[in-house]
Amino acid sequence: MRRSLPLALTFSLSLLVAVRLDAQDVSGAFLGQRVRVWAPNPTVGTLIRADSAVFVLVTDARDTVTRSRRVVRRTDISQGRHRRTGEGAMIGAGLGGFLGGILGAAAYDKPDCDPQADLFCMDFGPALIVGGAAIGVVSGAVIGAAIGSQTHAERWTRVPRLVDLRLTAAPSHEGLRLGVSASF
Protein backbone atom coordinates (compact mmCIF):
# COMPACT_ATOMS: atom_id res chain seq x y z
CA MET A 1 0.00 0.00 0.00
CA ARG A 2 2.84 2.40 0.84
CA ARG A 3 4.56 1.85 -2.49
CA SER A 4 1.39 2.15 -4.55
CA LEU A 5 0.55 5.63 -3.18
CA PRO A 6 3.64 7.38 -4.68
CA LEU A 7 3.13 5.48 -7.91
CA ALA A 8 -0.53 6.53 -8.10
CA LEU A 9 0.40 10.12 -7.25
CA THR A 10 3.11 10.15 -9.93
CA PHE A 11 0.67 8.80 -12.50
CA SER A 12 -2.04 11.33 -11.54
CA LEU A 13 0.32 14.28 -11.68
CA SER A 14 1.84 13.20 -14.98
CA LEU A 15 -1.60 13.62 -16.53
CA LEU A 16 -1.33 17.33 -15.72
CA VAL A 17 1.77 17.90 -17.83
CA ALA A 18 0.52 21.10 -19.45
CA VAL A 19 -2.43 23.05 -18.08
CA ARG A 20 -3.49 26.26 -19.79
CA LEU A 21 -5.11 28.96 -17.69
CA ASP A 22 -6.94 31.16 -20.17
CA ALA A 23 -7.47 34.61 -18.76
CA GLN A 24 -8.82 35.52 -22.17
CA ASP A 25 -7.21 33.69 -25.04
CA VAL A 26 -7.10 35.71 -28.25
CA SER A 27 -6.95 32.55 -30.37
CA GLY A 28 -10.52 31.85 -31.39
CA ALA A 29 -12.71 34.32 -29.57
CA PHE A 30 -11.68 37.41 -31.53
CA LEU A 31 -11.28 36.13 -35.09
CA GLY A 32 -12.65 38.68 -37.55
CA GLN A 33 -12.40 41.54 -35.07
CA ARG A 34 -10.18 44.61 -35.21
CA VAL A 35 -7.15 44.17 -32.95
CA ARG A 36 -3.98 46.04 -32.05
CA VAL A 37 -0.92 43.81 -31.53
CA TRP A 38 2.15 45.31 -29.82
CA ALA A 39 5.24 43.48 -31.11
CA PRO A 40 7.06 45.76 -30.05
CA ASN A 41 5.35 48.54 -32.08
CA PRO A 42 1.58 48.47 -32.57
CA THR A 43 0.09 46.84 -35.66
CA VAL A 44 -3.65 47.36 -36.22
CA GLY A 45 -5.78 45.11 -38.37
CA THR A 46 -8.43 42.42 -38.56
CA LEU A 47 -7.44 39.16 -36.89
CA ILE A 48 -7.77 36.36 -39.46
CA ARG A 49 -5.77 33.64 -37.69
CA ALA A 50 -4.32 33.05 -34.25
CA ASP A 51 -2.75 29.92 -32.89
CA SER A 52 -0.19 29.02 -30.26
CA ALA A 53 2.66 30.42 -32.40
CA VAL A 54 1.43 33.43 -34.41
CA PHE A 55 -1.14 36.18 -34.95
CA VAL A 56 -2.07 36.91 -38.57
CA LEU A 57 -3.69 40.29 -39.31
CA VAL A 58 -4.98 42.07 -42.39
CA THR A 59 -4.17 45.77 -42.03
CA ASP A 60 -6.23 48.71 -43.32
CA ALA A 61 -3.85 48.86 -46.30
CA ARG A 62 -4.86 45.22 -47.12
CA ASP A 63 -1.42 43.87 -46.18
CA THR A 64 -1.22 40.52 -44.40
CA VAL A 65 1.04 40.76 -41.34
CA THR A 66 2.24 37.84 -39.20
CA ARG A 67 3.49 38.41 -35.66
CA SER A 68 5.08 35.69 -33.52
CA ARG A 69 3.41 35.27 -30.12
CA ARG A 70 6.84 35.26 -28.48
CA VAL A 71 7.45 38.91 -29.41
CA VAL A 72 3.90 40.13 -28.73
CA ARG A 73 3.92 42.21 -25.55
CA ARG A 74 0.26 43.22 -25.55
CA THR A 75 -2.98 42.69 -27.45
CA ASP A 76 -5.94 45.10 -27.55
CA ILE A 77 -9.44 44.61 -28.99
CA SER A 78 -11.23 47.53 -30.62
CA GLN A 79 -14.49 48.58 -28.99
CA GLY A 80 -15.39 50.77 -31.97
CA ARG A 81 -14.88 54.34 -33.07
CA HIS A 82 -16.35 57.37 -31.34
CA ARG A 83 -16.47 61.13 -31.80
CA ARG A 84 -14.58 63.46 -29.49
CA THR A 85 -17.36 66.02 -29.03
CA GLY A 86 -17.15 66.15 -25.23
CA GLU A 87 -13.37 66.40 -25.18
CA GLY A 88 -13.50 69.21 -27.74
CA ALA A 89 -16.12 71.08 -25.70
CA MET A 90 -14.02 70.82 -22.53
CA ILE A 91 -10.83 72.01 -24.24
CA GLY A 92 -12.70 74.81 -26.02
CA ALA A 93 -14.40 75.97 -22.79
CA GLY A 94 -11.06 76.12 -20.97
CA LEU A 95 -9.26 78.00 -23.72
CA GLY A 96 -12.23 80.27 -24.40
CA GLY A 97 -12.63 81.17 -20.72
CA PHE A 98 -8.93 81.96 -20.40
CA LEU A 99 -8.80 84.08 -23.55
CA GLY A 100 -12.12 85.77 -22.77
CA GLY A 101 -10.86 86.76 -19.30
CA ILE A 102 -7.67 88.18 -20.81
CA LEU A 103 -9.64 90.17 -23.41
CA GLY A 104 -12.01 91.43 -20.70
CA ALA A 105 -9.04 92.58 -18.61
CA ALA A 106 -7.46 94.24 -21.67
CA ALA A 107 -10.72 96.10 -22.40
CA TYR A 108 -10.81 97.57 -18.89
CA ASP A 109 -10.25 101.29 -18.68
CA LYS A 110 -10.13 102.87 -15.24
CA PRO A 111 -12.76 105.64 -14.94
CA ASP A 112 -11.60 109.27 -14.64
CA CYS A 113 -14.06 109.96 -11.82
CA ASP A 114 -14.15 108.76 -8.20
CA PRO A 115 -16.75 105.98 -7.71
CA GLN A 116 -16.90 106.78 -3.97
CA ALA A 117 -17.85 110.44 -4.50
CA ASP A 118 -19.82 110.42 -7.75
CA LEU A 119 -23.08 108.46 -7.83
CA PHE A 120 -23.00 108.08 -11.61
CA CYS A 121 -19.35 106.99 -11.81
CA MET A 122 -19.21 103.22 -12.41
CA ASP A 123 -16.17 100.91 -12.41
CA PHE A 124 -16.88 97.83 -14.56
CA GLY A 125 -13.37 96.31 -14.30
CA PRO A 126 -14.20 93.03 -12.48
CA ALA A 127 -17.42 92.62 -14.46
CA LEU A 128 -15.53 92.89 -17.75
CA ILE A 129 -13.12 90.12 -16.72
CA VAL A 130 -15.90 87.80 -15.50
CA GLY A 131 -18.16 88.64 -18.46
CA GLY A 132 -15.36 88.07 -20.96
CA ALA A 133 -14.50 84.75 -19.33
CA ALA A 134 -18.18 83.65 -19.34
CA ILE A 135 -18.66 84.55 -22.99
CA GLY A 136 -15.36 82.82 -23.79
CA VAL A 137 -16.40 79.62 -21.97
CA VAL A 138 -19.71 79.37 -23.85
CA SER A 139 -18.36 80.26 -27.28
CA GLY A 140 -15.23 78.12 -26.77
CA ALA A 141 -17.34 75.11 -25.75
CA VAL A 142 -19.53 75.45 -28.84
CA ILE A 143 -16.56 75.80 -31.20
CA GLY A 144 -14.65 72.99 -29.43
CA ALA A 145 -17.65 70.65 -29.61
CA ALA A 146 -18.03 71.36 -33.33
CA ILE A 147 -14.37 70.57 -33.95
CA GLY A 148 -14.43 67.51 -31.66
CA SER A 149 -17.48 66.07 -33.43
CA GLN A 150 -15.45 65.94 -36.64
CA THR A 151 -12.57 64.08 -34.94
CA HIS A 152 -12.83 60.32 -34.49
CA ALA A 153 -10.89 58.00 -32.20
CA GLU A 154 -10.91 54.30 -31.47
CA ARG A 155 -11.54 52.77 -28.03
CA TRP A 156 -9.32 49.82 -27.10
CA THR A 157 -9.66 47.17 -24.40
CA ARG A 158 -6.56 45.30 -23.29
CA VAL A 159 -6.72 41.50 -23.45
CA PRO A 160 -5.08 39.77 -20.48
CA ARG A 161 -2.17 37.54 -21.42
CA LEU A 162 -2.43 33.78 -21.65
CA VAL A 163 -0.70 31.89 -18.85
CA ASP A 164 0.93 28.51 -19.56
CA LEU A 165 1.34 26.52 -16.39
CA ARG A 166 3.36 23.31 -16.58
CA LEU A 167 3.40 20.75 -13.78
CA THR A 168 5.82 17.85 -13.90
CA ALA A 169 6.20 14.86 -11.65
CA ALA A 170 9.02 12.35 -11.81
CA PRO A 171 10.11 9.57 -9.49
CA SER A 172 13.48 10.00 -7.85
CA HIS A 173 15.55 7.82 -5.52
CA GLU A 174 14.31 9.90 -2.54
CA GLY A 175 10.64 9.64 -3.52
CA LEU A 176 8.81 11.98 -5.89
CA ARG A 177 10.13 15.13 -7.55
CA LEU A 178 7.56 17.82 -8.50
CA GLY A 179 8.19 20.79 -10.78
CA VAL A 180 6.13 23.86 -11.65
CA SER A 181 6.87 26.39 -14.40
CA ALA A 182 4.78 29.27 -15.70
CA SER A 183 5.17 31.43 -18.77
CA PHE A 184 3.24 34.60 -19.45
Higher local confidence (pLDDT), 3 or 143: 143
Q: What ranges do the domains of the chain cover? A: 1-22+162-184, 24-81+155-160, 85-150
CATH number for the domain running over 24-81+155-160:
2.30.30
C-alpha 68/C-alpha 51 separation (Å) is 10
pLDDT tens figures, 1-43:
455 555 555 555 454 444 444 434 555 677 888 999 888 888 8
Report the percentage of the chain scoring pLDDT > 70. Answer: 78
What is the mean pLDDT of the segment spanning 45-60?
88
What is the mean pLDDT of the segment spanning 29-58?
87
**In the prediction, which pLDDT does 127 show?**
84
Query: Predicted confidence band at 105 (pLDDT cuts at 50, 70, 90)?
Result: confident
CB-neighbour burial class of residue 104 (10 A; exposed 0-12, middle 13-18, buried 19+): buried
Instruction: Output b/e per residue, 46-77; b: 16+ Cβ within 10 A.
Output: bbeebeeeebbbeeeeeeeeebebeebeebbb
Residues 19, 165 contacting (CB under 8 angstroms): yes
CB-neighbour burial class of residue 101 (10 A; exposed 0-12, middle 13-18, buried 19+): buried
Report the percentage of the chain scoring pLDDT > 90. Answer: 25
Strands (DSSP E) along the chain, which ranges? 18-21, 34-38, 42-50, 54-58, 64-68, 74-83, 152-159, 163-172, 175-183
